[in-house]
Structure 1
Amino acid sequence: MHQALLVPDIFLEILSHVNHILNPSSTSEKALARKSIAALATTCRSFHEPSMDFLWAKVDQLEPLLGCVTRLHSLIYFSGPMRQYSWSKGIEPLSAQEAHQFLRHSARIRSLNVPSDHFFHLLSVVPIEKCVFPRLQSLTWRVSTGKYLNLFMSHTLRRCSLYEVNEDLKSIVTRCAALQHLSITFDASTAESLSLLSDSVRLCKQLSTLSCPALDWAAWKHLSNIPTLVRVAIREVQCYSSPPRLRIVSFSKFLNVTALSFRVYSAAYIVAVMQHSQFPSLVELKMETDLMSLAEAEGLFCALSPLSHSKACQTLQQFEITITSFGPRFEYHQGSSFTAIPHLFCFTQLQTLRLVCRFSYIYLDNDLLLQAMSNWPHMRTLEIEGSSLHPSTVTFRGLFKAIRLCPRLHTLRMFIDPADTKIDFNQKRHTSLNTVDFDTFSPVSDTAAVAQIIFDVLPCVDQVNRFTMHTKEWDEVNTHLTSLKAAAEYRCEQAYFEL
């Protein structure tokens, strides 16, 4: 055996490579990967410990641990897929000796997913006040009860995902002082649960990422004082729930936050946070909200003004916003539009912009698109989608003139007016744009001409995707485009053989 295999880092790299090349996405491939690593563990003493550590590093459910108990092994692995959790019904709890078998590999586990409490009745012999996973670093807890939570409260815990909020949350953030990544997903339907959430977040000292329902302002203020925090995501689970009203008493500055996202049903919450906070290092901003009128949509974009007067103008690279309105406060006026795009001109480093407003027309014409592209020379992905009840005034001529200013643009999605097919065919080709989603508010009258335009100016576009409208016409465009490309390839082959 080569001496290099005795170097721990080299051997761990080999184990990672074995796990990677098998790509255990399916159950059978995952089983094959585990068998291969288990075989390495039995090869020699030098391979045993690192292989076993790698094999048990990530465990999904408690069943693999229970499978180490002789009495339960056949029930778990030979009961058939239909039984799943039901095999444990009526089974006697573990004895003291069986508890040692259950915990045989618990010290090796780094990542654990606990999706249910089906097996907890088997663990009555294990002292619930003692942590039996001393090296656990990541825990996903989908259980509503916290009775057995202490078993998993390791001082090494870095990442925790919870699907219920109760008093145990305070225990987690207090005992796990090294916690860096906290994700909380639950139905925040009561003021008490939201208050408990905010109080618990205020106990965190070393967070790097946080994903949770809406917080009160005291919690927001606390987060601004955590220098390690880089990502914050606010997610509401229940539709039309009411986030806490922010009683803002001071201004907060998040020095190192690079990614911020909201998915809430009240735009007022987003507006309050954005107007009273600074994010000088922000690179990624995502907002998704509902139940908005046109006036509220305008107010949401105006709330970005603090960002426009900060260093975020030079740092923001990705901006995504989705506004949908299907609730009782929806106010629709046919043909209504709002000028969202000029509010984003100041973010000159933008590389990705996704702007979706499904209840109103996002005003855009040739001149405005040209101005936008001149402000966003680094743009790579541009997706603008508004209501389908208003005609677009962006023509092919205006589009091609504008995208010349963004040489790295590779994805484009927008409405277009295909009526004007008179363009300069000597126009410089755009060679990076390869994914195009077009739609029109009226049928494409000359599908062959549109296909010729795309073929001449966008050589890397093989097919034009379409949103939902006029699919027949765009199918015809794609048919013509396929024929044009096939003919061009044939000419190239003929020219090659003539040489």
Structure 2
Amino acid sequence: MHACRLIPEIVKHIFSNILFYDTVGSLVNFGDHYFQQVARRSLAALSRVCRSFKDLALDALWLKLDNLEPLFACLPRDLWTMTGDRRLRPITAADWLVFEQYASRVRILGITDSGLFGGIDAEFVYAVMGFCSQSLLVPNLRMLHCKGCPPVLHSCIRYLLGPNLIYLLLVPPTEGFWSNVMPSVLSGLSRHSPQLEVVEFVGPHAMCPRASELALCGLTHLREATLVLPSCGDLSWLSRLVSLQELRITFAGVLPPLRSQFRTSYLDKLVVCSFSLTSSGNEVAGWVVPCRQLQLVPAFPESAAAVECALRMLDKRLLFDALEHILLDVVLEPADHIDNAFTLQTFTPLMRFSGLKEISLSAFCMSLLDVDALGSIVKSWPRLECLYLGTKCFWRTPPKITFRGLVALLSACPNLRNLGLVFDATKVDSATAEKLGRGVAVSLSAVLPCLGEFSVESFLSRGPDRVAREAKWIEVLEHISHILTKKQESNTTGLETRVVTRRSTRKVARRG
């Protein structure tokens, strides 16, 4: 055996690549069943090659489990057979040692939707729990994804909440998940898993605010939280999450909200999902939450005037000078109505934030903005790096922005790196080219000399004649590639000329 294969760090790295990469070197999705099975068979074979491989291969093999069924399957087969009086054989210490030697290697559990316990019968699970009632099923677990669990086994989740857990995802399978056993299980979360950094309580069913408070307020290392809460609940307890950096909160329902006094010094990221932007403004009426990144995701679109009013409501609540990134999106496809189209007036609540670097308003119609309005807007954001306006859908109202607006935008935002913009590309200088496609290419190359790639339309767009438009823009991209190639050849030729000139000068100097 080569000496390098005796170095544990190298072998560990090789075995990790077997687990996470397929046969052609591409990263494997956890849901890719075929490649995962191939990887597991390979690691199982490697664990039997030699003693130096055994532990490292087993660590990689058991690192991630979809559910607990493989662990239970390691127990002796006679445990699975009921006696004549319909009882299971008692589990012995020897049985438990077999279980523990593999369970201690598991770090990630429950990636897929197969349920935590797979197809294991609840009676057998409780028999195992009766033996290990004073210990944990998976003592070294770091990430737990609980996407499915029969109600009869909800109480067993407590045996997975260990001291090494840093990530917890709970998706309630039923409406009663949060109101029956789980509040008592989660009330001791800070005691069982004090190192938790990321907690996600998601799904279609809202969680009782009191249960969330008991679960989260004792976690001193909590950095990220994702919650689904009723819109009418008191959320003042969020102020006690002093280590929180990112908060994603979904308000379920449309009941009038209570005035919650949620105050924090600073969040790196805040995501608020609600019925509408107006309801978001009402739900955070008592908040003072400065953040660097803000995402507002309403379920239903509103008129441009309502959006402007909602943004003004958020001023000094979520909108502060520290804001750098803002995203407004709509869960459903926005209504293609002229009242929903943004104007200069709609942008005014955002124009005072000169520190903005990224603005994403791709779900809203921008067809009413003309060149002058766009120029006035972007002048307020000199540090802008990414801008997306109206590109998510196809709008029946044609855009008023032309190449002149694109030039004005680029002049006002020298740091711009990514741009999504709906503009009229048919109005170009016809004298620059015989064909429109080449004219567009020349114009784009003039204002964007480093342009190498662009997306014609969002995949969500369903506008008419999309195939024809894509064909036109493919032609434009071919012209741009040709123009860039000629520029590179010209630059190379110029460089060679300068080199030759310098060499000739040196020769003349030497002769002199």
| TM-score under structure 2 length normalisation | 0.73
Write out per-residue CA displacement over residues 122-150 of structure 1, whole angstroms, 9 at most, x where no aligned residue.
Answer: 32321354432222222222215214223
Q: Residue 370 of structure 2 aligns with which residue?
A: 365
Q: Structure 1 CA distance, aligned partners of 2:377 and 2:339?
A: 26
* 2:257 aligned partner: 246
Query: Is 2:321 the partner of 1:320?
Result: no
Partners of 2:264 and 2:470 in 1: how far apart? 49
2:198 maps to 181
TM-superposition CA deviations, 1:321-363 (whole Å, max 9, x none): 1136789xx89665764533232223333332211445x6575
Q: Superposed, which structure 2 residues align to 1:50-89 within 5 Å?
A: 50-69=56-75, 71=77
How far apart in 2 are the matches of 1:203 and 1:483? 57
Unmatched tracts of structure 1, length 5 or more = 74-90, 426-444
Say if 1:4 and 1:172 are closer, same or farther in 2 by CA, change over 3 A.
Answer: farther
What's the offset of the Cα at 1:217?
Answer: 7.8
**Separation in 2, partners of 1:451, 1:92:** 78
Which one has the largest radius of gyration? 2
1:143 is the counterpart of 2:149 = yes
1:405 aligned onto 2:412: yes
Q: For residues 254 and 216 of structure 1, do their structure 2 counterparts lie closer, same or farther at Cα, with a shift above 3 Å needed?
A: farther
What are the within-5 Å matches in structure 2 for residues 33-48 of structure 1? 33-38=39-44, 41-42=47-48, 44-45=50-51, 47-48=53-54
- Measured in 2, the distance between the counterparts of 1:69 and 1:194 equals 38
Q: Is the Cα–Cα contact under 8 Å of residues 230 and 253 in structure 2 kept in the other structure?
A: no
Question: What's 1:436 paired with?
Answer: none
3-state SS of 2:379 partner: helix
What secondary structure does 1:124 align onto? helix
Alpha-carbon RMSD across the aligned residues, in angstroms, is: 4.2
Return closer, same or farther for 1:249/1:30 CA change in 2, 3 Å cut-off. Answer: closer
Q: Aligned residue for 1:210?
A: 225
**1:277-301: CA deviations, max 9, x gaps?**
2333x22211110335424322221
How many Å separate the matches in 2 of 1:171 and 1:305?
39
| 1:348 to 1:36, Cα distance in 2 relative to 1, 3 A | farther
User: Quick check: 467-476 or 410-419, which moved more?
Assistant: 467-476
Contact kept? 2:225, 2:246, Cα under 8 Å: yes
Contact kept? 1:94, 1:125, Cα under 8 Å: no
Distance 2:306 2:378 in 1: 26
**For residue 384 of structure 2, what is the aligned residue in structure 1?**
379
Contact 2:452–2:481 (CA<8 Å) still a contact in 1?
no
- Equivalenced residues, count: 449
Is the 2:367–2:397 contact (alpha carbons within 8 Å) kept by the matching residues of 1?
no
Change (3 A) 1:258 1:33: same
> Using the alignment, how far apart are the partners of 1:105 and 1:43 within structure 2?
18
* 1:259 to 2:269 alignment: yes
> SS where residue 372 of structure 1 aligns?
helix
The percentage of aligned residue pairs carrying the same residue is 18
Is residue 287 from structure 1 mapped to residue 278 from structure 2 by the alignment? no
Q: Are residues 1:348 and 2:354 paired?
A: yes
- The answer for unaligned runs of 5 or more in structure 2 is 80-85, 173-177, 497-512
- Deviation (angstroms), 1:259: 0.9
Secondary structure of residue in 2 paired with 1:246:
coil
Q: CA deviation at 1:228?
A: 1.3
Map of 2:456 onto structure 1: 465
* 1:297/1:483 CA distance change after superposition, 3 Å: closer
Q: CA deviation at 1:243?
A: 5.1
In structure 1, the partner of 2:120 is 119
Q: Which amino acid aligns with 1:123?
A: V
Partner amino acid, structure 2, of 1:406: C
One-letter code of the match for 1:381? C
Which residue does the alignment assign to 1:154? 162
**TM-score when scaled to structure 1?**
0.74
Equivalence for 2:506? none
1:107–1:449 distance in 2 versus 1, CA, 3 Å: same
Contact 2:289 2:318 in 1 (8 A): no
Deviation at 1:305, TM superposition (A): 1.5
- Secondary structure in 2 aligned to 1:279? coil
1:17 Cα deviation after fit: 5.0
Aligned-partner residue type, residue 214 of structure 1:
L
Q: Does the 8 Å contact 1:211/1:232 carry over to 2?
A: yes
Change (3 A) 1:411 1:94: farther
Deviations 1:140-166 (A, max 9, x none): 222152142233232333321111223
Task: Give the structure 2 partner of residue 484 of structure 1.
Answer: 479
Give secondary structure in 1 for the equivalent of 2:307: helix
CA positional deviation for 1:232: 0.9
Kept in 1: contact 2:371–2:400 (CA 8 A) = yes
The answer on whether the counterparts of 2:367 and 2:398 sit within 8 Å (CA) in structure 1 is no
Summarize the Cα distance change of 1:201–1:403 in structure 2 as closer, same or farther, 3 Å threshold: farther
Q: CA deviation at 1:211?
A: 0.9
